[in-house]
Each structure stands twice: as C-alpha cells, then as structure tokens.
Structure 1
Amino acid sequence: MITVENVSKTFPSTGAPVVALRDVNLDVGAGAVYGVIGSAGAGKSTLARCVALQERPDRGAVRFDGVNMATLEGRKLRDARRQLAVVDPRLQPERTVAGNVAAPLERLGMEGPQRRDQVGTLLDLVGLTRAAAQLPDELSVGQRRRVAVARALAARPAVVLADDPTHEVDTEEAGSVLAVLDRARAELGATVLLTTPDPAVARRVCDDVTLLERGSVVESGNVLGLLGKPGSRIAAELLPAVEMSRADLAQYDRAVDVVLIGFAAVGALLPEAAARFDVELSTIGGGLTRFGDTPVARFRLGVRGQRADAALAWIAERGATVTHTLYGLRNVAA
C-alpha cells in the first residue's frame, strides 16, 4: 500500500542544515494500523508530511500501490491525494460538528441527502451523533479530535494519516480517539499510518511499528513478533519496565527475564512450570500490559530449585522468551 524508499530530508538553518530524515525505509500493508514511534525530534512529523505529499523529500520515493507520487502532476496528483486523508485537529470554529464533517463532501459536490447520510454514518462511527449540532468550542479536546478523524474519513480515503493523534488529549479520551482509528480500519477498510511519542498508543492499536531516532530507522517489525526478540529496542520501549532492589535479587539462586504473550501463557504457564518441576518462580519485577486485546507480561523472576533449568526450558518450549540475567545471587551481598 505505502512504501517509503530511502527517503531523506534536510532543512536549512543559520548554521549547518538540519537533517530530519536519513534514508528512511518502511512498508505499510493494506488494512494495517502502522505506528511510527520516537521521541521529540526523531523525524516523525517530517516523515508524516512526506507521506502526505506536503513535503518533497530531498532523496528517495514515496509510493502508493507501487506508484511514485513524486512523478505525478496535475489531475493524476490530485486524484492520488484524494486517496490519502490527513487528520487535521484544526476545525472550523464557526461550523457545527456535522458541518465540519460535511466540508470535504461539499467540496466534492456531493448532493445534500447523500451528504447528510454520509455525515450521520461517520458521526455514529466516532460516537458523536448527539453532538452533531454543537460547535467545536463546546466539545472536549478528545471529542474535537474524533471530529477531525470523522472529517478525514468523509471522502472514504484508502489511507488515513494521523500525526500524534492523542497530543494534548487526556488518557481516558485518548483511548476513544484510538478506538475510532481502529474502527476506521475494521469497518471502512482504511489503512492507518500514525506517529506518536507515546508507547501506549502503539500497544493499543498498532499491528506493525517503526522506531525512529534522529531521523533514522532503528528497528521495524510486527509488534507482537518483536516482543520476544533479544535486544529489541522496540520491545524495550513497549514492554513494562523491570524495577527491583538488590536485596530482592539476593534471595534467589538466579534471576531471569520472561516475556509471556497470550491469555494461556500469562495466566497459567509459570504456576504450571513451578508445580511440574518443584521449583520456586517468584515475580520480583516487571508487570502486565495489553497489546490490543492480547495480554503480555514481562517479569523478572527469582528462581530457586534443583530443576530450575528444566523448568525454564519447558517454559521456553511453550513460546515464552527466557533471558538469563544474573546467577548465584544468594552468594552476593545485598
């Protein structure tokens, strides 16, 4: 659907030019929710503008369904741009919620009855049917962001691009905004490309993710597939942090880090291993989270027992990722 090939972009400054993107590559499959994550200054917004055809890269290509958008002009470029919609949080303050959503359809010349039906469907999708006659200033930040998503979806684009869609939205309302983007994929078949500095956004809705750092791609891949990858930077960003004291570690023969994915693994794998091999597996750090509807845990376990190696091997054979971290801890002073 979207292919970014070796895209680089610099901006002039009073000193040396600012390099925003360095040979960035990514592939966004049709029907995916794809996340680009990274801290401020990583290049996320510049990449979003290049994909949205709002910026021309210095080098490289952005392709939609294999077509290099930089080679298009005139009507072909306008037609291609209609296939991609950008979630713009700036609403028209003098127009109602329904009026804002209708604006793109008016520009397309859609007839009144059909336009009203389309607006009603979209407001239902974003959960704002009752707010149709309200003005943007009467809404919360999260509700306004959902209106912006509905407006972006009005012309039924193939691709929806959302640059930091939960910016300045509180945690509770952020979930509603992300749910709307997920529904756009599930119910309208849209491909969603979003950028965010917030790992929680990627955990909630993204199928695939790319980590940018100083304009370069550090890592890319399927979110769940990366969680068990040793040394994965994305896994480190998305999984619960592991915190514990030296005193906690000193009580055990060894400590290991374990990543468990799925209901069965999270709920039963560790207790079953402990009972089967007569060992003690105590959680001394980490925690539990969700990736979409899938529960995922990263625990640091304190391990005691003669058959500990067999227990850990059994856990790994059933899909968990087990990383040995420290040994002989009971012989080390706290």
Structure 2
Amino acid sequence: MITVENVSKSFPFNGNRVAALRDVSVEVQAGSLFGVVGPADSGKSTLARCIALQERPDRGVVRLDGLNTGTLDGRRLREIRRRLGAVGAKSELLAERTIAGNVAAPLEQLGVDGPQRRSRVGSLLDLVGLTARAGQKPGELTDGQRRRVAVARALAAGPAVLVADDPTSGVAPEDAGAVLAVLDRARAELGVTVVVTTQDAGVVRRVCDDVAVLDNGVVVERGSLLDLISSPASWTAQAVLPSIETSRAQAAKYDRSADVVLIGFATVGALLPEAATRFDVELSTIGGGLTRLGDTPVARFRVGVRGERADAALAWIADRGAYVAQPQSVRGPQGVAA
C-alpha cells in the first residue's frame, strides 16, 4: 500500500515559493490501478514524483507498506527506489540502442546475466506487444509504441509499483488504448500497483479502480470510481459519465423526471423496464447515455415517468441500488476532458 499523508511541496519561482501540493493525502491499495486526474498545473506530476521518491515533500510523509520513506537515505533509499518504476510523459529511450537493448539496460546495470536478461526482456516485450519490434530502433516506432517500450523498461527490474505520469500525452488516439492496455496488463499479470496521472477523464474511465481529483494542488475528491460516479453531482461523475442535455419542455411532458445512474450488466439492461411493468407507468429515457468503466457498463439517464405511481416507481429503482435524483445543473472539474 502507498500512503500519502498531508504532503505539501513548493518550488521557487521569480523569487517566491509556489505551492504545487497543499496538504495532500491519498491511499493507494496494493494491486490497484489508481488515477490522479486534474487540469494542467494541478500538482499531478509533483505528486507522481513524490510517490516515485524522485522528490522529497516539504512537509508530510510518503509511506510504502508502512515504511516512512522520508527517513531513508544512501543505500537504503536506493534499495527502496528499485521497488518503484517510473514512466514520464516523454519516453526518453536511448536512440542508438534497439528496443530490446533499451528494455535490457536496467538489467545490465543490476548485473543480471545474459540468459536471464534475455528471458526477462522477451517476456516484457511480449507483455507490451512489441516482440516483433525487438531489433528496431526507437526512431522507427510511433509515439505510442515508444511509450510502451518505456513501460517495459520501467518494469524490467520487477518493481512493486509503477508510476506513469501522463502516459497518453502526445500519443495518437489509436495508440493510446494500447498504452492503457499495457498498464492494465502489468497490474493484472504482474501484480504491480499502478499510479497513473492524467488530464483525460477517458483514461480514468477505461482503466482506473480508484481516483483522486487534484485542483490547484488540493485533493478535491477521492475514492472508488464506482462510488464516486454514484452521485451525479460529484466532479468525477461529471467528468466520466455521459452528459445529459434535455429541455424543460421535454421534462414537462411527464409527471416526474429524474436523473438515474445505473451500474452493472443486470441493472443497466433490466431495472427501468421492470419498474415500468411493476408499477404500470410509462417510463422513457429523455437524455443521457451509456458508457463503460473498465469492463463494467454504466448508464446515466434522465428519465421521464408518466402515471399515478410515478413516485413509487422511482423509489423502487433507488431501493434496487440505482442513484436517483432530481435534475440539476452541475459541472465537473474545470479543464478535465471527458
């Protein structure tokens, strides 16, 4: 587990100190894929560097499995850093070396022998889907492929934690999905805890279990992704769920209208039709849509209900685990792309 406790960090700028993180606290469960999302200059990269032990906070503590990393120095600090892999927004591969050679570089530094090194490189290139590119140079690959090589290199020494700072930044949309799939495979197949920072809520929607939203160096929201999207008013819900655009005239055609969030295969497919039949009401979706959080289908609809038992139908839907609320105008975190 990674525990960030009341971490603050500032940097000098034009003779003053500018705060990048302000009293930030988050917990990252072992084996999870944790997303830190927020607009540019919100402190995401600084938090990533503090977790990766590339920066020391001014105040507060970063703990790895309970160990206070702030007390470490010298050889002990170097040993702990080997448990942490890091990938930046730029892949920074060695241009003169092959793809296999780039992945092998950390193993060479650790003195791993040739046969073991070649076996490890082969398995990692298979993990990132680039076995056929092993003999090529970085300049022959796309930005997304180079980012996947950087992930393989960061995993070479077998870290327990991988910190990926904005891993899809500058990557073409058709390649971004492959980069995220590699991070998910590292978590699923290698048991690595993954921390990913991003401005793009689509990254969170596709691969993250838990999320923290940063704005101006402050955590404004954190928790399980599925818990946070259960409330349509949350910033996370506004960033990752389908938008709802309906007019008052549309809603006025019904006895009741409500915003409903449905999670899971059975709930999304069956709950609304069953409510209409059970309470003998007309129930129509008048806004919203469907998406997926990882492999889980999620819907946010604005529903209109017509009939004497409209209130009872909506209450029954809420009792079955859906989130039901009166329509309201809310906004997500500024600068987060949905």
Shorter-chain TM-score range: over 0.9
Give the deviation of 1:105 after TM superposition. 0.5
| Corresponding position of 2:257 | 255
The residue type paired with residue 239 of structure 1 is: L
Give the deviation of 1:232 after TM superposition. 2.0
Q: Measure the CA separation in 2 of the matches of 1:309 and 1:245.
A: 21
Q: Secondary structure at the match of 1:94?
A: coil
Q: Measure the CA separation in 1 of the matches of 2:228 and 2:127.
A: 32
- 1:1-334 matches, cutoff 5 A: 1-14=1-14, 16-88=16-88, 89-229=91-231, 231-325=233-327
Does the 8 Å contact 2:302/2:327 carry over to 1? Answer: no
Gap change, CA 1:76 and 1:15, over 3 Å in 2: closer
Does the 8 Å contact 2:84/2:160 carry over to 1? Answer: yes
Give the deviation of 1:230 after TM superposition. 5.9
Gap change, CA 1:263 and 1:11, over 3 Å in 2: same
The residue type paired with residue 319 of structure 2 is: E
Give the deviation of 1:140 after TM superposition. 1.1
Q: Measure the CA separation in 2 of the matches of 1:278 and 1:168.
A: 52
Q: Secondary structure at the match of 1:155?
A: coil
After superposition, give the CA deviation of every residue in 1:76-134 in whole Å (9 maximum; x if it has no partner).
00000000010141111111111111110110111111111100000001111101111
Q: Measure the CA separation in 1 of the matches of 2:324 and 2:195.
A: 32
Give the deviation of 1:34 after TM superposition. 0.6
Give the deviation of 1:279 after TM superposition. 1.3
After superposition, give the CA deviation of every residue in 1:166-185 in whole Å (9 maximum; x if it has no partner).
11112221111111111111
Does the 8 Å contact 2:256/2:311 carry over to 1? Answer: no
Give the deviation of 1:158 after TM superposition. 0.4
Does the 8 Å contact 2:36/2:198 carry over to 1? Answer: yes
Does the 8 Å contact 2:232/2:238 carry over to 1? Answer: no
Q: Measure the CA separation in 2 of the matches of 1:87 and 1:13.
A: 26
TM-score when normalising by structure 1: 0.95
After superposition, give the CA deviation of every residue in 1:232-279 in whole Å (9 maximum; x if it has no partner).
222222211111233322322232000000001111111111122121
- Tell me the matched-pair count: 326
Q: Which residues of structure 2 form unaligned runs of 5+?
A: 329-338
Q: List 4+ stretches of structure 1 deviating above 6 A.
A: none
Q: Measure the CA separation in 1 of the matches of 2:136 and 2:251.
A: 57
| Corresponding position of 1:332 | none
Q: Measure the CA separation in 2 of the matches of 1:264 and 1:170.
A: 34
Q: Measure the CA separation in 1 of the matches of 2:209 and 2:276.
A: 33
Q: Measure the CA separation in 1 of the matches of 2:169 and 2:232.
A: 31
Q: Measure the CA separation in 2 of the matches of 1:187 and 1:103.
A: 22
The residue type paired with residue 7 of structure 1 is: V
Give the deviation of 1:217 after TM superposition. 0.6
The residue type paired with residue 42 of structure 2 is: A
Give the deviation of 1:306 after TM superposition. 1.0
Give the deviation of 1:221 after TM superposition. 0.5
Q: Measure the CA separation in 1 of the matches of 2:232 and 2:103.
A: 46
Does the 8 Å contact 2:12/2:18 carry over to 1? Answer: yes
TM-score when normalising by structure 2: 0.94
Q: Measure the CA separation in 2 of the matches of 1:167 and 1:61.
A: 29
The residue type paired with residue 25 of structure 2 is: N
Q: Measure the CA separation in 2 of the matches of 1:244 and 1:17.
A: 46
